[in-house]
């Protein structure tokens, strides 16, 4: 029989950026064999690949901890044992090698972390899917990185207009804080590598594009908010995967470092 399933690199990429259990919560808990089958692999391979991602996150956290001044920046993080920190976002945060997955290895024992980010999410989808989950999670802190998918253009037309993006971001914050009392930290969307984006075959064939001017407009809006904001744009510069959109592991580590710096008093 011819094997028509995904190859090893495809499985690795799919596993890195996608967690079907987040989108299929209405089906109840999904066990490892079911999740593994969705990626065209078995439970042992699935478990091993997830362990490899975690090992890389621990290594990235250890490397950050060894940098000059890191001890003071990590000690100054406001997250305390017994608190619950939740991340909202899209693929940059859903990435199993994301800044949030690195951050969890830098926090004191007893700080609980939950990553609710879903790859591909717009701000409207986050309102519909991620906001309701906050009511059940009861976080003490919310770290939110959204907006990159809103400014995605399809044959030149933005997926979500800027006025709607602003409305959704404000609503997401206001409703979440009203429901949970959580303290809030924004992360700006990172810029792209325009040359790589233009050359990436999937984007060209689908008519997809991103403008750094659009991304900057979202970042500027967030930077004018009263809540703490981590500007990720400089940190992520030059750290992209081959598609020019998603951050490389080095880019994710740089965003984590930017967060440590931004939250250092």
Tens of pLDDT, residue by residue over 39-71, are 889 999 999 999 999 999 999 999 999 999 999
A 10 A CB-CB count for 46 gives 20
Domain ranges of the chain: 8-262
Confirm if 150 and 159 have CB atoms less than 8 A apart.
Answer: yes
- Strands 112-115 and 157-158, bridge-based pairing: unpaired
Mean pLDDT of 27-34: 80
With left for phi above 0 and alpha for psi between -120 and 50, is residue 42 left, alpha or beta?
beta
Whole-number Å distance between alpha carbons of 244 and 225: 28
- What does the alpha-carbon distance between residue 144 and residue 86 come to, in Å, rounded to a whole number? 8
For β-strands 112-115 and 141-145, DSSP reports them as unpaired
If phi > 0 it is left, if psi is from -120 to 50 it is alpha, else beta; for residue 3 that is beta
CB atoms under 10 Å from CB of 136, counted, come to 8
* pLDDT band, residue 33 (cuts 50/70/90): confident
Rounded mean pLDDT of 164-191? 97
Band (6; pLDDT cuts 50, 70, 90): low
Bigger pLDDT: 85 vs 4: 85
2 has a pLDDT exceeding 60 = no
225 pairs with which residues across the strands? Answer: none
Q: What pLDDT is stored for residue 155 in this prediction? A: 96
Percent of the chain surpassing pLDDT 90: 83
State the CB neighbour count (10 A cutoff) for residue 119: 20
8 Å CB contact between 210 and 162: no
At the fourth CATH level, the homologous superfamily of domain 8-262 is SGNH hydrolase (3.40.50.1110)
Q: Is the dihedral of CA 90, 98, 166, 205 positive or negative?
A: negative
pLDDT band at 91 (very low <50, low <70, confident <90, very high): very high
Q: Are 126 and 105 in contact (CB under 8 A)?
A: no
Chain-centroid distance of CA 246 in Å reads: 10
Mean pLDDT of the chain: 93
Query: Which run of H or of E encompasses 147?
Result: none
* pLDDT value of residue 136: 86
Output the pLDDT for position 11.
85
- Better-scored residue on pLDDT, 220 or 36: 220
Give residue 110's pLDDT. 96
Higher pLDDT pick, 10 / 101? 101
Q: State residue 183's pLDDT score.
A: 98
Q: Are 244 and 195 in contact (CB under 8 A)?
A: yes
Instruction: Give the contacts of 189 (CB within 8 A, at least 6 positions apart).
Output: 92, 145, 146, 147, 148, 151, 215, 218, 219, 232
Give the confidence band of 21 by pLDDT, cuts at 50, 70, 90.
confident
Q: What is the pLDDT of residue 3?
A: 43
**What pLDDT sits at residue 236?**
95
Rounded average pLDDT over 88-113? 97
pLDDT tens, position by position, 208-245: 999 999 999 999 999 999 999 999 999 999 999 999 99
């Amino acid at each position: 029989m011819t094997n028509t399933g995904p190859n090893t690199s495809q499985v690795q990429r799919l596993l890195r950026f996608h967690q079907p259990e987040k989108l299929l919560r209405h089906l109840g808990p999904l066990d490892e064999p079911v999740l593994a089958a969705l990626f065209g692999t078995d439970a042992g391979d699935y478990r091993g690949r997830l362990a490899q991602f975690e090992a890389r996150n621990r290594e990235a956290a250890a490397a950050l901890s060894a940098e000059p001044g890191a001890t003071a920046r990590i000690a100054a993080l406001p997250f305390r044992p017994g608190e619950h920190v939740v991340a909202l976002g899209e693929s940059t945060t859903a990435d199993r090698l994301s800044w949030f997955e690195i951050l969890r290895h830098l926090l004191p024992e007893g700080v609980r972390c939950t990553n609710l980010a879903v790859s591909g999410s717009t701000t409207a989808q986050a309102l519909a899917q991620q906001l309701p989950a906050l009511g059940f999670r009861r976080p003490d802190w919310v770290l939110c990185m959204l907006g990159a998918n809103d400014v995605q253009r399809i044959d030149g037309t933005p997926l979500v207009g800027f006025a709607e993006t602003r409305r959704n971001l404000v609503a997401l914050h206001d409703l979440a804080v009203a429901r949970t009392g959580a303290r809030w930290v924004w992360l700006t969307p990172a810029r792209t590598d325009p040359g790589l984006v233009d050359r990436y075959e999937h984007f060209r064939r689908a008519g997809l594009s991103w403008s750094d001017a659009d991304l900057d407009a979202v970042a500027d809006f967030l930077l004018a908010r009263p809540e703490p904001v981590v500007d990720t744009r400089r940190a992520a510069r030059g750290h992209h995967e081959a598609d020019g959109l998603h951050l490389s592991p080095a880019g994710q580590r740089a965003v984590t470092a930017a967060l440590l710096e931004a939250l250092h008093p």
